[in-house]
Amino acid sequence: MKAAFTICSLNYLSLAMTLKKSIRKTNPELPFFIFLADKLNGVVSDESIIEIETIQIPEAEFKTLTETYNIIEFNTALKPFIIEFLDREKGFTSLIYLDPDIVVYQHLDAVWNELADSEFILTPHMIEPIQTKELDYLTLGTINTGVFNLGFIGLQITESSRKFISWWKNHLLHYGHNNILNGEFYDQKVMNLLPVYSDKTVISRNFGLNVAEWNLHERKLSKVDGNFFVNEHHPLIFFHFSGVKMTTAAENSQKNSQFKRTQSDQLSELLSDYIASNIENGFEQLKNIPCHYKLRPNIHRASRWEIYKFKLNSWLKSK
């Protein structure tokens, strides 16, 4: 039995709903779940949303996650817990995870086919070596943050894959921070080890999977008969809109160096449609809703005042 899922808090729920809409259009037969790392509190009603507390993560483990992680770290660390839930409680045997800022444009048969005789499928950030010095920062960034982009992973449930998922879950209880100097980058960096730990791991070289700002230099977009293609021959299966601001396609292309470098009518169309869909799905209303859980501030994005308040509250609780 197959299924797909994503994870988000309320501030990203419009993105998850945009992803859901794309899956319903392209893969209508596929069960799809939005696991909410938050509380709905009556904000939205949708049958695909499952609040994270309902999957019954043990209290001590849940406390560790909420007390030691910021909102991004918390969301990403939940992945293996949810995989175990979908296996144990729902009986799914083949799963695809997609980040909420992804849109699916084709049937996912290409993923299922590559996964058929394997346990895991991963997509590298880039497929080909970079030859241009001005793009060397992409290579170095990939080395620092992880060879594979964990905005996507596909897996088959087997006895051996269960053992790895359990290990990954226990690892992420403590080592899922954005702390590159300590060998951590969310749930992603550690997955460099997956092809070593599982000899049934597929590293997909399909240019149509997980197209994103970090690999647009090697993936030229085109459109034929209403369908998007990559490098002319590869159907665009899903695009990862990481880093996209909900303003305009033109503004994104101006401010994002990769979008600016690879600007095209097709990219502008993808960006415009994505922004419009998120606005339609309530982005402006949802984006500033604070998470129910009192997580650590994200030091890379939070204001000094937010960080100060958190430290003060933590100090007061210790007294």
Judge whether residue 310 has pLDDT over 60.
no
Going from the C-alpha of 30 to that of each of 115, 131, 207, the distances in angstroms are: 16, 40, 23
Mean pLDDT of 266-277: 98
User: For 150-181, what is each residue's pLDDT tens digit?
Assistant: 999 999 999 999 999 999 999 999 999 999 99
HEC profile of 183-243: CEECECHHHHHHHHHCCCEEECCCCCCCECHHHHHHCCEEEECCEEEECCCEECCEEECCC
H or E element in which residue 79 lies: helix 79-88
Tell me the mean pLDDT in the region 227-233: 97
Is pLDDT at 229 greater than 90 in this prediction?
yes
Which of the four pLDDT bands, split at 50, 70 and 90, describes residue 301? low
**What's the chain's average pLDDT?**
93
Q: What are phi and psi of 2, to 5 degrees?
A: -105, 150
DSSP strand pairing (238-240 vs 49-51): unpaired
Q: What is the pLDDT of residues 79-126, one digit of tens each?
A: 999 999 999 999 999 999 999 999 999 999 999 999 999 999 999 999
Rounded to whole angstroms, what are the CA distances from 105 to 34, 52, 237, 270, 281?
Answer: 19, 28, 5, 10, 18
Residue-level pLDDT at 106: 97
The pLDDT of residue 297 is 76
143: number of Cβ within 10 Å: 12
State both tokens at 94: 């083949």
How far is the C-alpha of 207 from the C-alpha of 214, rounded, in Å?
A: 13
| CA dist., res. 65 & res. 9, Å (int) | 14
Answer yes or no: is pLDDT of 5 > 60. Answer: yes
Per-residue pLDDT of 247-271, as tens digits, reads: 999 999 999 999 999 999 999 999 9
Task: Tell me the percentage of the chain whose pLDDT exceeds 70.
Answer: 93
Q: Residue 268 class from Cβ within 10 Å (0-12 exposed, 13-18 middle, 19+ buried)?
A: middle
pLDDT in the model for residue 313: 57
- The more confident residue out of 303 and 203 is 203
pLDDT at 283 over 70: yes
The answer to whether the CB of 102 falls within 8 A of the CB of 16 is no
Residue 298 or 226, more confident:
226
pTM, 2 dp: 0.92
Average pLDDT over residues 68-76: 97
